[in-house]
Amino acid sequence: MSDDASFASSTRESEVRTIVVKVGSSSVTTTAGTVDDAVLGTLAGQMAALNDDGYQVVVVSSGAIAAGWTALAPGEVRPTDAATLQAVAAVGQHRLARVWDEAFTRHGRITGQVLLAPLDFGHRSQYLHARQTLRRLLELGVVPVVNENDAVADEEIRFGDNDRLAALVAHLVGAEQLVLLTDTAGLFTEDPRRSENASLIEEVVEIDHELETRATGPTSTVGSGGMASKLAAAKIAVWSGVAVTIADAQRPGVLADAVRGTPGVGTRFRARDRRLPARKLWIAFATGSHGSITVDAGARRALVADGRSLLPAGVTGVEGSFGVGDAVELVGSDGVVFAKGLAARDAADVRVSAGQRSEAQPAGISPEVIHRDDLVVLGD
């Protein structure tokens, strides 16, 4: 039995119910950009109440950069360059953690800070260490407060919010639900800022392309995510077998309502029955693509239906300048991306060998372009 399977099995057997709560920057900071002690206190109280009801709670909190910049240059326009943002995060990280700790202390709870990055989910040993630490913290009755390791993870500062990290953490701890708290009530049929006809989408059974087009960018200057980021995180989580709710952090009793599935609490996403292992989640969602490979119908059928590796014979086109180990998207003859994987050969090599049979490849070199263990079929 795999590590993921054994963990899922042990979680079910012990009937431990874990909730991951992600709080966005716009929800933990005031209009002036300072950390909002009152909001954090209210949310800590709600999470303590979940503890009392038998739930384990993990918090994923944004706000380190906002807290740091307020301390360094209150009232000034927030910088955008990665180096400054990393330095600002280092200043704000402990300030944010201190406010959370004080808020939970008032409710008789102890917190523990854990800094992670999506890379921790791509290396098996790091993944196992992170999971072990979080599991032990929960067993000790501690509330883990997780944040992106912004001070060194420039990729994550560049790509945005902690939503994606929260979804991966939900998989890591075998969570039952992921609650994404933000400054809007959920996902709407139209942009509620621009249309009076916008209505809340209360339940999503399947995340499809039409739904993804409804997602918008950031709604404030504080957060770096937005509804598009929330929807991407929801997709990761439901592929992990975790149900998701996007809801307004200011709604009274929002966490209890989210856990109970109260109608109108926000937008709820049903979990998929099939659960991707952590490494394939990382390949599919946590690492950016460096290029694309177009394949013919026969290769697509072998990859999707038969679970085979991609060989040069099925390649019809290559885009980008990816290297060995980089993530690439696989595109069908219809131009639609249907899979993603880690390249076993660099772009130049794949271009040269495209369309060739395996026996035509140099002796002693594996002909595989992408090994099946490094391949994830999207929308499967």
CATH of the domain at 366: 2.30.130.10
Q: Which of 280, 298, 324 is the last residue of a domain?
A: 280
pTM, two decimals, is 0.80
248 and 369 inside one domain? no
228 and 179 inside one domain? yes
- Residues 189, 128: contact at Cβ < 8 Å? no
What SS3 class is residue 193? coil
- Please report, for the domain that includes residue 16, its CATH number: 3.40.1160.10
Q: Which of 257, 280, 303 is the last residue of a domain?
A: 280
- Residues 153, 85: contact at Cβ < 8 Å? no
329 and 258 inside one domain? no
186 and 293 inside one domain? no
- Residues 220, 183: contact at Cβ < 8 Å? yes
121 and 192 inside one domain? yes
Q: d(Cα 270, Cα 243) in Å, to the nearest integer?
A: 5
What SS3 class is residue 266? strand
Largest interatomic CA distance in the chain: 69
Cα-Cα end-to-end distance for the chain: 23
222 and 255 inside one domain? yes
Rg, the chain, Cα only: 22
Q: Which of 258, 280, 302 is the last residue of a domain?
A: 280
274 and 296 inside one domain? no
256 and 128 inside one domain? yes
Q: d(Cα 164, Cα 220) in Å, to the nearest integer?
A: 19
Q: What are the C-alpha distances in Å from 27 to residues 77, 182, 325, 367? A: 19, 6, 37, 51
95 and 170 inside one domain? yes
209 and 99 inside one domain? yes
Structural domains in the chain (count): 2
33 and 182 inside one domain? yes
DSSP string, 310-363: B-GGGEEEEEE---TT-EEEEE-TTS-EEEEEE-SS-HHHHHHHTT--GGGSPT
89 and 180 inside one domain? yes
pLDDT tens per residue across all 380 residues of the chain: 344 444 343 444 346 799 999 998 888 888 777 788 899 999 999 999 999 999 999 999 988 888 898 889 887 888 888 889 889 989 999 999 999 999 999 999 999 999 987 677 767 788 889 999 999 999 999 999 998 877 766 554 443 568 888 998 998 899 999 999 988 888 887 777 777 788 888 988 877 766 766 665 455 444 444 777 888 889 889 988 899 999 999 999 999 999 999 999 999 999 987 777 777 877 887 677 899 999 999 999 999 999 999 999 999 999 999 999 999 999 999 998 999 999 999 999 999 999 988 777 776 677 899 999 999 998 65
Distance of CA 101 to the CA centre of its chain: 24
> 365 is in which domain, residue-wise?
289-377
